[in-house]
Structures are given as structure tokens and as C-alpha cells.
Structure 1
């Protein structure tokens, strides 16, 4: 539920700014209160000694300030993650790819609550940099709106690889979903850099939020609308990311790697996997398969052979590889912290088949 603003504390400039942006159909009683307040202020003799004009206006924050605030916030989350990893290592290793979901929940809760009216619109990084998240009327976001904004902000980094972690999901669908989630992050970055009119990015626009300098002067938010070309570019980019995801799953190098990954993840004792194609001297190629193991993996050497077999059966040109490297890793990755313990097995395709 929206918090009722106390307009008696607003200056005349702030009231006029709010009146310009407010949804009159949704908040007719607020419009009436604002107009009554403006009328009352107009009847009061002007105080020529007022220092309101000398105060710095509340304007949209610059890109570098937002970036530094984020770095500070993520450093704090990293400290929390490191402490959690030291105290809860064993439980976290059981999560496998779901560890990223835990990290997503922690980060979303941190940003969502601190940047709502509960934290007066400021996370720790924003407090240090003198920034604040507000609505068009200058008030802090509700907790629900702020959590939605934070969820969109954290989505790409934490959950981009999650769809492909489901071995039963169609490879085309998993790849398209992963690329779409990645595209959300890419489009947010694009808007952050190029939307110079309102300085809003994707998660800001979703809830009508602005990141402003924490000043005491009159509200001076941008009055211009976002350029329509940005909407067209973002829409086209998201469609392109989905198409790229489908293309990556087609038969060929990338499609084969996706199939190897899903085959490895279906093995008992494996909770997650990744596949890479590396190039060495004289264009020598190496297929590298990393399998994240759980507590049920009792025989590492036998599991390494099963992982290599999955690679040999699902990668069409595997015999052209100089070596196939299998890495068995145990540990956790929750996005804000990760710890891995690994062992490598490096053999040629022929050597793997001989075992």
C-alpha cells in the first residue's frame, strides 16, 4: 500500500514538481491537497530572506556515483557471503546450482528493503555516496515496489545460468531463457549509459523510480519522457538474445557443448556442470568439462570416466581435440561468495576410450 505523503513539509517548488508528475486519476485526493497547499502558500507573503534558493536541488545521480555505490554494496554482500561460507560450508555445498537462488534472495532482500521507505531509500553504498531512490513525487518506494526493482536488478547476474541447470529442460528452451535473462542485464546497462534524459535504467522504469542526489533543496527531476527509440532498441535486443539462445542450441560447436553439459548433469553425483572449448598453441583445441560433485560421489576416478564418456558421446568433433580435460569440483557458489576444491584429469580422447 502506498505511503501517504505529508505535503505540509514540502516546499512550493517540490509541490509543483509533484503536481506535474502525479497520476491525477489514481490520486485525486492528493491532487486536491497539493492544489490547496499551493493556494495557501501563494497567499503567504514572500520571505525575501528564504535560503531555499541557495540549497542544492535534488537531481538525478551521475553514472559514476551509482557505480561506486554498487561496488560498495556488493563488497558488503561479499563479506556476508564469506562469513556464511565459513560457517555453513557443508550445507551450502548441497545446494548445487540452487546456491545462486539463495544469493539472489539475499541480494534482492538487501537492496529491496534498504532502498525502500524502510531504509529511507538508501543502501549502505548510497549513504556513503549521498544517493537516494525516490518516486516521481520525491517519496521513498514501498517495500513491494523496491523488492521488484531489486529483483530485476539482480536477475541477470545471479540467475542467468539457472535454466540450463535443468537436465530435463529442452536445450533450445534452456538456452533461450538463459540468453533472455542475460539480455535483461545487458539492456539495463545500455539504458544506464545512454538514457541521458531521465537517467533511469530498466529496473528504475519498471517501478517509476529515480536515483537522485541526497540534497535538501527543491525536487528537480527530469520532465522529459524516455526517448521512444530506447524502447525499440531494448525490445529488439531482447528478441535478438532469445534468437541467439536458440541458435546456440543448434547442432554445431555451441549446441554440442550444451548437450555435453546436460548429459554430464544427468549423471549421479553431479549437481552442476560447465563446458568450454580452449585453444592452445598452433590452434590445438582442448575440450574442458567441469562437473560439480555432491556428497554421493564416492569414487572420483570412476566419475571422471563417466563424465569423459558423456563428452565423447555428445560432442561431434571430439576426436579432433588434443585433450579432453575433466575437472571434478566440490564447493558452492551463491553469487556473493564461492569456494571450490578441484581435481583435474587430462587425457586424449583415445586414452579416455581405452579406460
Structure 2
């Protein structure tokens, strides 16, 4: 289609996004300082608050209400428009912001009350991850129209805030970014399914993960197993626990009720090889609202037989 637009350069958009992210980060720091304990108690749901702030920021400022310019875009002299160079309405800007921010705020987010390994969470993770990959790939490889995934869906363009004196044709969108995105996503899905199905040791840890996740004050848990060093046949099991309370680390976490219950659950599961196996407990608290985060953590690492002695005390 004919137009008189100058498309924004790649690095101009990157710098504009960096400036906007910095501004949101400052706002997130202020909110985190004022409401730290509240955000900690919310756990994963705290990210939704940061998401709302970002959605509001990008939706309003990228619309015609602010001439299609966030502070970052204004400094870099670019704006969001349609193919005719007109700034977009609030509805279109909201949809555009929703597509852009969703993968980065909901990546790793577990639906409250659902199992991490449930079909719904797995499908959700694939969709969100694919969207994030698509946004990045199109951002880099779509050199013809400089549209990322959120621009293509909403039919918007990021252009310079001054116009060309002559009318030109907008170049067609090439298929290369689609092929790259689809290929990477296929490789990731196939690799993940293969690794999960072929690793029986990881499967055995799922019941441990589920039981620890149900403990009081536990917001999030990860359970993993590695060999350290790699050539050593002695496994190191790591249980990372995030609680809903600000932890007071006094150097003696052995008697922390969350730690003790997690150790008891692990030992009673009998998933470890021998009492010489290493169990590393990482316990922490903090918040992540997407635009700001703060964590406190402490870890205790011992062989299983030492943990048995600790539990008897």
C-alpha cells in the first residue's frame, strides 16, 4: 500500500524500549519499597499488578491520546501509527500492548490452584513461550516492514514522527521470520518432551514437588537433580522454596519449619540413591512484579545422613 512513512530503525526502537523499561523500573522500585510485604504475600499473583501497570502505560501512551508516543519513543522521535500514518485508537493500542507484554509477564506463571504439570499449564506455557519467541524473531529478522508480532496482528507500524515528501510502497512481509519461529518452537517442544520422557529420575521427583508445594507458607517450589561435578556419580538434589513471608535469616535455618517439613518429605519419598547423596535446600522470599523484583535467599546443603541427624535433634 502507498504511504509517506519512514520506518523506524531497529536500534531506535530498541533504545526507545530501553528508556520505557527504565521508567517502568523506577515506578516498580517505588511500589516495591512502599508495598514490599504485601507483594511478598501475593506470591506469583504480584506479577499481575506489574502487568496492569505496564499495560496501562503502553496502551494509553502509544495511542492517539498521546500522539502514539511513550516517553522513550518521544525521545527517539518515533511513534506508533497505522499504514496511513494515523495514530491508533485506545482499543487497538491495548490489544497491541497485551500481545507485547503477555509473554514477558506470564512466562512461568502457574494458574492458581492448578498443577504445574497439568495439560492446561503445559499448553499455556507453550503458547506464551511461542509468543515471546515470535516477538523477538520478528523484531530481528523482519527487515522489510520492521513489524514485530504485535504490530503484524494489530496492523500497526513504528515510524519516524516526520513524513516523507514522496509516496512509496510498503514492502511485503517476508516468510523467513515465520519459518525461523516455527523451527525454533518445534525444536524446543521436541527436545523438552524427549528429555522429560527419557529422564526417569526427574519423573520420580514429581510427587516430592507436589507434596512440598502443598506445605503452609510455600508459594513456589522447584525440585531438581544434578551430578556435581558431572563426572561424579554422586547426585545433588536441590529443593528451592519461596515462601509468603519475609525470611529472617539468622544463620541457622535447620529448625525452620518449612525447611524441616521439606526435608522430611524428601527423605520419606526414598527417591535418592544413598544416604551419601547431597540435599541442598534453598529457601527464600521476595517479590517479582515484572517491572521490579527483590529476593532474599539462604541455602543449607548436607548429605542425607546429616539431614537425618538434624531431624532427630
TM-score over 0.5 for the pair:
yes
Pick the aligned partner of 2:2 from 13, 17, 34: 17
Aligned match of 2:11: 64
Residues 290 and 328, structure 1, Cα contact 8 Å, conserved in 2: yes
Alpha carbons of 1:98 and 1:243: their partners in 2 closer, same or farther (altered >3 Å)? Answer: farther
In structure 1, the residue corresponding to 2:290 is in which secondary structure? coil
TM-score (norm 2): 0.82
Aligned match of 2:47: 100
Alpha carbons of 1:92 and 1:347: their partners in 2 closer, same or farther (altered >3 Å)? Answer: same
Aligned match of 1:84: 31
Aligned match of 2:95: 148
How far, CA to CA, are the matches of 1:173 and 1:247 in structure 2?
19
Write out aligned runs for 1:162-177 (5 A). Answer: 162-163=109-110, 166-168=113-115, 170-177=117-124
How far, CA to CA, are the matches of 1:309 and 1:101 in structure 2?
33
Bigger CA radius of gyration: 1
Per-residue Cα deviation, 1:209-264 (whole angstroms, up to 9, x for no partner): 11111224348676222123433443454455555555555453555566554443
Aligned match of 1:268: 216
How far, CA to CA, are the matches of 2:173 and 2:202 in structure 1?
37
Q: Verify: 1:344 aligned to 2:299, yes or no.
A: yes
How far, CA to CA, are the matches of 1:164 and 1:189 in structure 2?
25
In structure 1, the residue corresponding to 2:2 is in which secondary structure? helix
Alpha carbons of 1:345 and 1:167: their partners in 2 closer, same or farther (altered >3 Å)? Answer: farther
Q: Verify: 1:292 aligned to 2:247, yes or no.
A: no
Shift of 1:309: 3.9
Q: Verify: 1:198 aligned to 2:145, yes or no.
A: yes
In structure 2, the residue corresponding to 1:163 is in which secondary structure? coil
Structure having the higher helix fraction is 1
Write out aligned runs for 1:1-355 (5 A). Answer: 17=2, 58-163=5-110, 166-168=113-115, 170-218=117-165, 223-235=170-182, 237-238=184-185, 241-244=188-191, 246-247=193-194, 249-250=196-197, 251-252=199-200, 255=203, 260-277=208-225, 280-281=228-229, 283=231, 285-295=235-245, 301-312=256-267, 316=271, 319=274, 322-354=277-309, 355=311
Residues 247 and 296, structure 2, Cα contact 8 Å, conserved in 1: no
Alpha carbons of 1:84 and 1:228: their partners in 2 closer, same or farther (altered >3 Å)? Answer: same
How far, CA to CA, are the matches of 2:155 and 2:275 in structure 1?
54
RMSD between aligned alpha carbons?
Answer: 3.2
Greater relative CO (CA pairs within 8 A, separation 6+): 2
Alpha carbons of 1:167 and 1:182: their partners in 2 closer, same or farther (altered >3 Å)? Answer: same
Alpha carbons of 1:242 and 1:152: their partners in 2 closer, same or farther (altered >3 Å)? Answer: farther
How far, CA to CA, are the matches of 1:187 and 1:262 in structure 2?
32
Per-residue Cα deviation, 1:111-147 (whole angstroms, up to 9, x for no partner): 1111111121111111111111111111112111111
Shift of 1:314: 6.5
How far, CA to CA, are the matches of 1:346 and 1:99 in structure 2?
30
Shift of 1:174: 2.5
Structure 1 residue ranges without an equivalent (≥5) = 1-15, 19-56
Residues 81 and 337, structure 1, Cα contact 8 Å, conserved in 2: yes
How far, CA to CA, are the matches of 2:94 and 2:166 in structure 1?
24
